[in-house]
Amino acid sequence: MVRLLEGLSASIHRLNEWVGRGVSWLTTALVVLVCFDVFTRYLLSDTSAWVMELEWHLFALIFLLGAGYAFRHDRHVRVDLFYADFSPRDQALANLLGGILFLIPWSALLIYASYDYALISYKIGETSPDPGGLPARYVIKFAITLGAFLLLLQGIASLIDAALILSGHKEPAPPESEDLSKENL
């Protein structure tokens, strides 16, 4: 059973790692798009609804689909007032309780609420209300559901990891380095 749980956790980690690394390339696309938008708006006096909408669509995809990746790498906002001083075992317990009480229910609620929202958008063929805007508004709405699902999966992996640490079947991982020196980039 332990090997099955370890395999499931590792698979979820790999999935969110793959999605996160893929989504990170959207940041480059967003920078290029914003530069294009600034150039056309201020130098050519031309404004495009589709460019502005694509900017916020890309930002939303980065944020939504990157949530599981950020959680996997412990980059979500947390009150570290006490947590940083906890032993690895106490941190695992805090992660287990936080996941059960907050992350899993929140993610499940977000999936539940956003799925119908996106499905209705798809069924009515919702498009941008702006002339020249992007078609298929439902795509970005389904990204809410997908992002919440990836976060839920990563929360499950975190619960598995915490339970394995608490049961003595896994050693706590060392904290990730926050060294942003040139050699580590």
CA distances from 130 to 28, 53, 133 (A): 26, 9, 5
pTM to 2 decimal places: 0.87
> What residues have CB less than 8 Å from 143, skipping those under 6 apart?
60, 61, 64, 65
Q: Is residue 182 included in any domain, yes or no?
A: no
Q: Specify whether the backbone of 158 is left (phi greater than 0), alpha (psi in -120 to 50) or beta.
A: alpha
Per residue in 121-141, pLDDT (tens digit) is 999 999 988 888 888 899 999
Instruction: Give a yes or no: residue 156 inside a domain.
Output: yes
Q: Average pLDDT in the 11-30 region?
A: 96
Residue 77 belongs to some domain of the structure: yes
Q: Is 115 helix (H, G, I), strand (E, B) or coil?
A: helix
Structural domain boundaries enclosing 66: 2-174
For the cut 70, the answer to whether the pLDDT of residue 94 exceeds it is yes
Residue 180 lies inside a defined structural domain of this protein: no
Q: Does residue 183 form part of some domain?
A: no
What is the count of structural domains for the chain?
Answer: 1
Kindly tell me if the per-residue pLDDT of 183 is higher than 70: no
Asked if pLDDT for residue 83 goes beyond 90, the answer is no
The answer as to whether 160 is a domain residue is yes
70 falls within a domain: yes
Inside any domain, residue 179: no
